[in-house]
Amino acid sequence: MKTLLLLFIFATSAWGAISTPTDAEALPLLKTHLQGKTDHIVRLVRRLGNKTLEVDCFIALQGDLAAFKTITTDFKGWRDWALTDFNVPRDGSGYVLQLNDLVQRDPGKVTATYVFNVPLFSKERARTFKVGKQEAPKSLTLTAEALVNPKSAVKAANAFMKVLPADGLPGTLWINVKAVVEFNNWFFYEALPEKILLREVGDRLTFLVENYEKEELRFKQGGAPRTVSSKPVSEVKED
């Protein structure tokens, strides 16, 4: 899902640093942050040292689990709905990260093209992620792991998204997205204070939730034409 998309870029080290919870482990944590919520986003950022950030997000949204599974496990289709107005801030200021495209060239892999909107890092870049899914009758788990690229500003990237039906709230989904972010140099770690990170992630989660809800409605109505689509993929050398 779209909440995962931004965190795929702002993500991290080895799988040893981040573990995917079981459904039984995830539900109590979701309840802690989302109990009684049907439309809510919680964003947490923590500095772990060694150029590493942890981003933890909890989202409640209106949705149907079966439709959610169909839409979000279609990795090739992400670019057609998730990036709508993704880089357009509503307060008129810009974002540090501009996510320009998401393309599936090979099964199980998604390539993101993006720009860091800061001096010396403003050229368009690309990064490929290995993506996976695990479906159960009452849950969905998506995972992402960045392919190794020592030249990238982001050293490596792993993230997960766990989705469960909201406890006692029919028609609502509870979602936990988590990533641990390790940078190759100190610049991004030091230059991205928590306030900026929370805005970058929080605004985008709001956009992505809205985009998903529109896409689910379109899906249930039989696939009406979309009004906005992401720009065509650009062939960018990965770095």
Q: What is the pLDDT of residues 166-208, one digit of tens each?
A: 999 999 999 999 887 777 776 666 766 777 777 878 788 888 8
- Name every residue whose Cβ is closer than 8 Å to that of residue 139 and which is 6 or more positions away in sequence: 23, 26, 162, 163, 164
Task: State the Cα–Cα distance between residues 191 and 183, nearest whole angstrom.
Answer: 11
Q: Looking at the predicted structure, is the pLDDT value of residue 96 above 50? A: yes
Confidence of residue 28 (pLDDT cuts 50, 70, 90): very high
* pLDDT given for residue 93 in this prediction: 75
Supply the mean pLDDT for the chain: 82
Confidence of residue 52 (pLDDT cuts 50, 70, 90): confident
Task: State the Cα–Cα distance between residues 35 and 20, nearest whole angstrom.
Answer: 21
* pLDDT given for residue 215 in this prediction: 93
Q: What is the mean pLDDT of residues 219-227?
A: 81
Q: Is 76 helix (H, G, I), strand (E, B) or coil?
A: helix
How much of the chain, in percent, has pLDDT values that exceed 90?
34
Q: Measured over all CA atoms, what is the biggest interatomic distance in the chain, rounded to whole angstroms?
A: 50
Task: State the Cα–Cα distance between residues 234 and 213, nearest whole angstrom.
Answer: 27
Q: Which of 43-47, 82-86, 117-121, 201-205 has the lowest mean pLDDT?
A: 117-121
* pLDDT given for residue 15 in this prediction: 35
Task: State the Cα–Cα distance between residues 163 and 58, nearest whole angstrom.
Answer: 10
pLDDT, tens digit, 9 for 90 and up, residues 60-90: 999 999 999 999 999 988 888 988 888 888 7
Cβ of 194: how many Cβ atoms within 10 Å?
13
